[in-house]
Amino acid sequence: MRARLRFARFRFLALGLALLAAACDDDRKKPEPVASNGALTKVAAPSRAAAAERRNFTWRLVPSTEALESVEQALSHHELPSRATLDVASLVAGFAYDVPAPHDAPFEVHTTLLRSPWNESGWLLHVAVRSADGTKLGNLAAEEGVAIEFDPTEVARARPIGGDRVAMSSDGKLAQALYELTPARPWALRREPPRTQIHLGTVQLHWRTSTANEPSGLARAIAVTAIDDVEKVDSETRFAIAAAAFGLVLRGDRAVRDFDYGDVEMLAAPPASRDPDGRRARMLAAVRIADHTVSGAPERTRD
């Protein structure tokens, strides 16, 4: 009797092991997912590399905050502003800029491509959208009001400085964004003349209209000449880049790890003649105080 019981238990255990082995074998033989055309497909979560290769961007236009004032307040307590509260987009937008207004459309796009001041192998694209007098950027469509698409044959990677949030000027007539670009092929060589025009992609604007007969959008090709020296960039664009660099250095962004406050000051100076409210001079003063706060050295003064 005991022998038969032991034999039955053995058969039950053997049957269980056989079923487990068969299930594992079925999993190994399970076919890969197949697309409708018969090709094998694999489903995977987006990787960081895929995110870095993003080339389409839509601006999220927001009112600017008092970013410069926040920086000054923190520095007055001998502290740097916190990374979480520092708004780079608003820091760029917080100054008066002389950007030409459009003549035959409600909005116009201005673009400049230059070699990055803090990364010699990279490039910066400055994009400014200016509205006509009596018109504001708030009239742009809430969805895809400003959409930028880069050409993958020219741009291998693009990163917006400050993210997709783009702050408007206090009067609502100007918005600026900066993109760090990695070329898909050389755009300019140090000892050779730059290519005359590089077509990096397109900027599309969409706005609300009161009647169906009115034009409701425009597209502008990003056709630019590569500028290999920031000294050759106009003073308005250069100051916007300096303001963005100041914000990145304050935040400790790894993109500017080899760039310091002295470099920011050199980039912003000499200040352009257009400084009607003195805010550009205030930023330069804040740059020197931040340098002193970090290094503990006496504050530098301009001769």
Beta bridge pairs of residue 135? none
Residue 204 pLDDT greater than 70, yes or no = yes
Best CA proximity match to 183, nearest among 158, 161, 155, 204? 155
pLDDT band at 38 (very low <50, low <70, confident <90, very high): very low
**Other residues' Cβ atoms within 10 Å of the Cβ of residue 209:** 13
| pLDDT > 70: percent of the chain | 76
Q: Kind of pairing, strands 60-63 and 165-168?
A: parallel
Sign of the dihedral defined by the CA atoms of residues 131, 135, 136, 140, in that order? negative
Best CA proximity match to 116, nearest among 235, 238, 269? 238
Please name the residues in contact with 268: beta carbons below 8 A apart, sequence gap of 6 or more: 238, 239, 242, 243, 246, 280, 283, 284, 287
Q: What is the mean pLDDT of residues 198-220?
A: 88
Listed in sequence order, the DSSP H helices in the chain are 2-29, 48-52, 67-76, 88-93, 235-251, 261-268, 279-295
As a whole number of angstroms, the distance between CA 205 and CA 151 comes to 17
Q: Would you state the pLDDT for residue 211?
A: 76
pLDDT band at 197 (very low <50, low <70, confident <90, very high): confident
Residue 44 pLDDT greater than 80, yes or no = no
As a whole number of angstroms, the distance between CA 161 and CA 180 comes to 7
Residue 209 pLDDT greater than 90, yes or no = no
At 160-191, the pLDDT tens digits run 998 899 999 999 999 999 999 999 988 865 44
Q: Would you state the pLDDT for residue 41?
A: 42
At 262-294, the pLDDT tens digits run 999 999 987 556 788 999 999 999 999 999 998
As a whole number of angstroms, the distance between CA 268 and CA 263 comes to 9
**End-to-end Cα spacing for the chain:** 109
At 221-257, the pLDDT tens digits run 999 999 988 989 999 999 999 999 999 999 999 989 8
At 95-106, the pLDDT tens digits run 999 999 998 889
Q: What is the mean pLDDT of residues 107-127?
A: 94
Q: Which helix (H) or strand (E) holds 174?
A: strand 174-183
Q: Is 78 left (phi over 0), alpha (psi -120 to 50) or beta?
A: left
Q: Is 38 left (phi over 0), alpha (psi -120 to 50) or beta?
A: left
As a whole number of angstroms, the distance between CA 278 and CA 95 comes to 9
Put simply, whether the predicted model's pTM sits higher than 0.95 gets the answer no
3-state helix, strand, coil in the chain (%, to 5): 35, 25, 45
